[in-house]
Structure 1
Amino acid sequence: MGLDLDGAYAWIASFQRRFEAEATELGELDRRAGDGDFGANIRRALRRVERRLDEAPPSAPGELFLGVAHGFLNTGGTSGPLFGLWFRGIGQASDAPAMTLAELAKGVDVGTATVQRLGKARPGDKTMVDAMAPAADALAAAVADGLNVAGGIALAADAARAGALATESMRARRGRAAYVGDVARGVLDPGALTVALFFDSALA
């Protein structure tokens, strides 16, 4: 069974709750390695998402993710629009009543490629890509192994979390943290942690 509209709504609602609970901590991580506005910017994006979905209720999961993308794309800073492009990749992967694991995998892969192209970031640069890329790889592997959507998302969540935790020891080469050099060592990347939180939220 694929990811239907109710399941997608539940996923985004869980993500909103989880992010709200951790926004202050994520903002503090950004303050230590950047300008400290990450938590506030993403919270504003999620409020825009909520308004967008209320104003234009989606009829399919892909349409819902496009609504999420719209909320993020209209947010200040750098991370918000990049997340918006990532969610747009997911949303454009399917217009069916239920999104298959293969479609979700394709969407995450396309969205990640877009973020990498525009942000010029690669795995190891201490950015959100350090969680996005492993999640995309895990979803592709899950499709190849014939797993269902829940199984694939669980693997993606594990991969994203491992990728996010690995940023702690990295020297930032992209993003705001790149300006502070070694000062950012020992600080987890908040963007990568948010990607991990997104996939974890589907399992809640």
Structure 2
Amino acid sequence: MTETELTGEQTKAWILAFADRVIKDADELTELDRQAGDGDFGWNIGSALKRARTDLEGGNPAEVFQSVSDTFLASGGTSGPLFGLWFGRLGAGPSAPWAVSDLAKAFDTATGAVRRLGKAEVGHKTMVDAMVPATEALASTETRSWREALREAARAARAGADSTSGMIAHRGRASYLGERAQQVLDPGALSIAWFFDAAEGA
């Protein structure tokens, strides 16, 4: 049967799958950040998601995302506030199971907030390079299945993340390295791709 509404329990399973992926492969994110930043990205995001696993709560998607936001806002590094803002804006969504249209609206609001705070656009070699394509995929999908909609978003996010290899950064520490970090995949964009991929396990 087609799943037309994302529940709180499914959202928790999604977050747990994302946390498992990040914790397992945090060294990959750290190595990318070492090449283009200060090398603490994997540790920071992994630490936040370990806390999220313990503190995860909520009866609907908005409440679950808000609980994740709280753990990121308490974490260090430049990524913590950005992830905290993103999940916090998702946490402002409907207090009920979410249809695909709710997903599209929530991610549009959340991604817009990150773009404004970070002053980042597509092509700047940041997490926005994965966030925006995923958000656009949700807005343009014709499916009523949240699972299929997120599958489409995951494909778009992964393509966006992959595109950051070859970019010269315009934001963050990588912007100081110029062409020296051009071929490095942006760890923030990669983590966003992992986030949408993790919905498959919800």
Q: Equivalent pairs: percent with the same residue?
A: 51
TM score, norm. by length of structure 1: 0.94
The CA RMSD over aligned residues, in Å, is 1.0
What is the distance in 2 between the residues matched to 1:119 and 1:4? 30
Q: Is the 8 A contact 2:99 2:144 kept in 1?
A: no
Shift in Å, 1:44? 1.3
Q: Which residue of 1 aligns with 2:6?
A: 3
Q: Deviations over 1:152-174 (max 9, x none)?
A: 10110000000000000000001
Which residues of structure 2 form unaligned runs of 5+?
Answer: none
Greater relative contact order structure (CA < 8 Å, 6+ sep): 2
Which residues of structure 1 form unaligned runs of 5+?
Answer: none
Q: Is the 8 A contact 1:90 1:106 kept in 2?
A: no
Q: How many residues align?
A: 198
| Higher deviation after alignment, 65-74 or 42-51 | 42-51
Q: Secondary structure of 2:84's match?
A: helix
TM score, norm. by length of structure 2: 0.95
What is the distance in 2 between the residues matched to 1:185 and 1:68? 31
Alignment of 1:147-186 (within 5 A): 147-186=144-183
Q: Which residue of 2 aligns with 1:123?
A: 122
Shift in Å, 1:48? 2.4
Shift in Å, 1:47? 2.1
What is the distance in 2 between the residues matched to 1:29 and 1:39? 9
Q: Is the 8 A contact 1:126 1:171 kept in 2?
A: yes
Q: Which residue of 2 aligns with 1:50?
A: 53
Q: Which residue of 1 aligns with 2:27?
A: 24
Matched, 1:60 2:57: no
Q: Secondary structure of 2:125's match?
A: coil
